[in-house]
Amino acid sequence: MVAIIDYDAGNIRSVENAMKALGEEPRLTRDPGEILSADHVILPGVGAFGDAMDRIRSYGLDETIREVVRRGIPFLGICLGLQLLFDSSEESPGVPGLGILHGKVVRFRDDMPVEIHDGREPGHQDDAPAAAGNDRYLKVPEIGWNALAYPNPGRLFLGIPEGSYVYFVHSYYLVADDRDIVTAQAQHGVMFDASVEKGNVFACQFHPEKSEKMGMQILRNFLDVN
Q: Which helix (H) or strand (E) holds 69?
A: helix 61-71
Judge contact between 209 and 119, C-beta under 8 A: no
- Amino acid code (one letter) for 224: D
Report the SS3 class of residue 45: coil
Indicate if the alpha-carbon torsion angle 67, 70, 72, 77 is positive or negative: positive
Q: Label the pairing between strands 103-107 and 172-176.
A: antiparallel
User: DSSP assignment of 56-68, as one string?
Assistant: HHHTTHHHHHHHH
The crossing angle, in degrees rounded to 10, of helices 49-58 and 61-71 is 80
Report, as residue numbers or ranges, the catalytic residues: 79, 207, 209
Task: Give the span between the Cα atoms of 67 and 181, in whole angstroms.
Answer: 20
Q: Which helix (H) or strand (E) holds 16?
A: helix 12-21
Q: Whole-angstrom distance between the N-terminal and C-terminal Cα of the chain?
A: 12
Helix, strand, coil percentages, rounded to 5, for the chain: 30, 30, 40
